[in-house]
A and B are shown apart, each in its own frame.
Chain A
């Protein structure tokens, strides 16, 4: 009897022990997680409660000191670059390990390994886009052609890995504990993957959508509604710029025509509107101190842990400070004692699609220039948590991966679209940043940029010498007019890119007469630039607001630049609303109930600012959305992706051709005009507002747009900040929309005594249990900054703590 009793209890005990270490569905392993010695409780410590004053790091040539300021910003003081980047790797991993690994897993299409089968579709898309393929190509290239970069990438990886090797389970970042997996070794390859992750986040194309549109509305209407240049073009490089080079030839082949069948594939998710950035620099002639001032605020998806991580990196010969991307070496947007730089996304169609004709279903050969060419196969093994691996075969042509085919997002056997993208090519973007970090002048900046391929950026520059500059840099394909705007015929060599625009012919300017340089993702140039430039997503509002303000400003101080980054003027509303109001039928509104009249009065007296407490931006936003939908939703067909005209062209049409037949919906009996649609949408807006008021009394702008800083795992809502009280919006300089906005704001005054300021929505720590996880968020939401000026090793009066790395 006692044997049976023992056996039973023994089994129950073992069963309990095993059960508590297992994950059931989304329920994490409770024993491991709740154990106060090992589980989540251990992640409650902020970094300043738990640090080493000294520790040993292998492979250092000298001692390295790291001093943290009150915001947990590390200042690394090393003797040489190799020591510096080794410690950068270690320190970054200490605060952001989970995030840096997760982002590279995302870029490699490995999310299913962590979260299970829900991510297979996402991973397939990532892999079919060829991000890992691109990173592998670049790795081989860097190993062979840039051993100096490779050595530093390895040093960084070694620093990360030494941190991981000595990491007990109790100190694992909490996400590992909840999702029940372990960090793996870092490598140079992963740093390159991270840069591909950025390319993926920032590059967009709508070739397939445009192909459908052209078939649907015809080339003439397409050109009218989607012109290559807008009427109020206010480009990045000032229009006065003279292009003093002999351009390469790029003539449209005679008699060429694009494939014209309709495309029914479920196209990939594109970066949402609102991803974009501002940067500018003003010359000493326009500033109070006489020194140039540079500002940068990249608008990206607002996430926690924060995308950016601020550091100062000092060697015996150089000190640089600013925002790093955890996983990449050096500072990405920042300054040293001589120069400052920052980036915005340079929109350009660097991603093109080719329709491939295979010989048979095996797809081992495809037709090109009238001969059969061999394709290659890349088998992607997607490991899936809790299930067998998913195998996906991706066919590669000389253009690149066949993304859409019978196995992926298309039901038709004859769909084979191959993607050609500059991000697949050999490149060493990392070198650009390594060189910028120690750059001393304009020549160094240009030299650094020459290594930069993708994602193309507008690099702003200012120097202690008084120079300001801007360069649109990326590896840009040389295209004939219209090339790559639509799906191209993969059989016909005439559709091949003709080559690349030489770096020195990329749009750039140095010390323009207007005394400032600026970019906000708008058109790079005016039509006089001798190359064909096309992109779908150029900005039309922030650029004009920014340039008009910079033109009229003088005696500028860093404070003025901060105010400009936080500028809430809604230029689109200021242009569209007067038209909408003028076409609104006052008699109809007069017969409406009180709320309709009240809303109208509010809109009539609006100052066009989008501060968080204002109600008018909400009214305008809803009215605009209803109107826009009323005008264009008729173009949509289920299953056939297209792209609708942007708000700039829509506003222009409302203003200039209110009676245009484009407003009419042929499916209805009556003839719609701008006027009728404006009136109908106003009534819809009033109805919607009443609904909103019933659910949620407060319809102030902040409460309506609900800016949210979400944890990278969307389910982890309690690690996120939802409904942050802040103003701005898409198309506004303070471009804080629901999920996107200034992910980093920086203002730097050059010269002796120049100060630098920065802020981002989050904090230095990646640990949701730390007080440094989100301590900067409130300041960010209020438009405040922290001092990020370069500090010398003995200038710290009251450091948070410091760590000495012994060799």
Chain B
């Protein structure tokens, strides 16, 4: 179970305090999933960072009784001077997992070839994305945080991510955060809309979809 209880997040800007998330609460049980719809700047990524634990809420409590991934396929966590392999080792050490059995999977999934042992700074954008996704899959979590990662990349990469995440790991919980209502309809069993800092729950995904389409800003 993950429970988000009365969480608010305020940032300081030159024009004073800006409340990005305003008293948000929801729960997610093991094996369940939820989609959160929001327009650009609605605070989707902030919410994901709070749930991931990368930042602290200004007020409120986040409880995690299952293991929660870092934001899926997040490329920023790379040390670009390190090779793909070094990055795999680093992530494995942080999570206490042996990296050696994972090398074949990561090599196969990323299709990096010799570049797997070259510094990440020499990678193309596509290569970096593939590595980021593979590293997220290398560590097994109870709950995955997905921040529009599925939208990037070409069709083939898309399909392979789909297989890894939604087929091989369909017993896991996930939180999918996106502006794209269709992917929520495709993958999620429940949905909320994040709007003006408030999280609006809906009984069905279709209702959330209709509300989202009817309120373009």
Are A and B bound to each other? no
